[in-house]
Structure 1
Amino acid sequence: MDFSSINWLAVLVATVSAFVVGGLWYGPIFGKAWMAEMGFTEDELKEANMAKIYGTAFVLEFLIALQLALFLNHGGTDPSVGQGAAYGFHIGFFFIALAMGVNALFSRSSLKLWFINSFYFVILLTLMGVILTVM
């Protein structure tokens, strides 16, 4: 892996974008539906260790953005914005969403929950691909 070609600021911005997208996705867009599908109440969510959750999520999202940057820069290529978006979408949909679909089938979770959880990553990785190729 060649870390010399990594734009660390772009990786950081892509990581932060996960929190922006997540805040919207699991907030005003699908927050109530996600809570209902998961069986959570607002009080239960307030009891969680948010520093641990957000801190660990930041590290994991950073690693996702870093790996996508390494993938996009593989072989010293300079992909276009369209390619970044396409690669992000394909990874998000064909690897993450479909794998989460298999998991949803065996865990017997609802189609709605599968959609909410997996398409967050489809949108996020598409956006990350754009960020990593624009910057």
Structure 2
Amino acid sequence: MSEVNLLAIVLAAASTFVIGGVWYSALFAAPWQRAADVSDAQLATGAPRIFVGAAALSLVMAATLAPFIGTEGVVFGAAAGAAAGIGWVGCALGVVYLFERRSLTLFAIDAGYFAVAYPAMGAIIGALQ
């Protein structure tokens, strides 16, 4: 971990909030809310716990991605992020969603978010390592 740039990890984690803010509000708010069966009342409660938890988990995601990228640069970082976001996270979500009988719409929205967020994290880490 000593060779990992902590600023890169923090910025990569922060990027998930920027992307998530656009993804789950401007782009897919209503379809996600319907597919996830989340009411307006549910969205109005628990925000501090959710955002603190999401920030902590985003830091873990970025910190575990960084050693895989190393000092290979921005292009490799983005490619590694895409492989992780699509191949690991997207597929893992797919398995869980199949067993939970969740909709293809919800899978596409959630997996699509990670397919965008991970390459962004990887590019940031690759650029700053």
**Shorter-chain TM-score tier:** over 0.9
Alpha-carbon distance between aligned partners in 2 of 1:45 and 1:103, rounded to the nearest angstrom: 23
What amino acid is the match of 1:16?
Answer: A
Structure number with greater Rg is: 1
What amino acid is the match of 2:101?
Answer: R
> 1:41: how far off?
2.2
Indicate the residue corresponding to 1:17 in structure 2.
15
> 1:44: how far off?
2.3
What amino acid is the match of 1:66?
Answer: A
Indicate the residue corresponding to 1:95 in structure 2.
88
What amino acid is the match of 2:120?
Answer: L
User: In the alignment, is residue 49 of structure 1 matched against residue 43 of structure 2?
Assistant: no
Alpha-carbon distance between aligned partners in 2 of 1:20 and 1:8, rounded to the nearest angstrom: 19
Deviations 1:64-94 (A, max 9, x none): 0011112212xxxx20211111100001111
Q: CA RMSD in A?
A: 1.0
User: In the alignment, is residue 116 of structure 1 matched against residue 109 of structure 2?
Assistant: yes
Report the count of equivalent residues: 128
User: In the alignment, is residue 86 of structure 1 matched against residue 79 of structure 2?
Assistant: yes
Runs of 4+ in 1 over 6 A off after TM superposition: none
Alpha-carbon distance between aligned partners in 1 of 2:21 and 2:67, rounded to the nearest angstrom: 26
What amino acid is the match of 2:58?
Answer: E
Alpha-carbon distance between aligned partners in 2 of 1:15 and 1:42, rounded to the nearest angstrom: 27
What amino acid is the match of 1:103?
Answer: V
Indicate the residue corresponding to 2:58 in structure 1.
61
Taking structure 1 as the reference length, what is the TM-score of the superposition? 0.91
What amino acid is the match of 2:56?
Answer: V
Query: Identical aligned pairs, as a percentage?
Result: 34
Q: Which runs of 5+ in 2 are unaligned?
A: none
Alpha-carbon distance between aligned partners in 2 of 1:71 and 1:134, rounded to the nearest angstrom: 14
User: Highest relative contact order (Cα 8 Å, sep 6+), 1 or 2?
Assistant: 2
SS of alignment partner, residue 130 of structure 1? helix
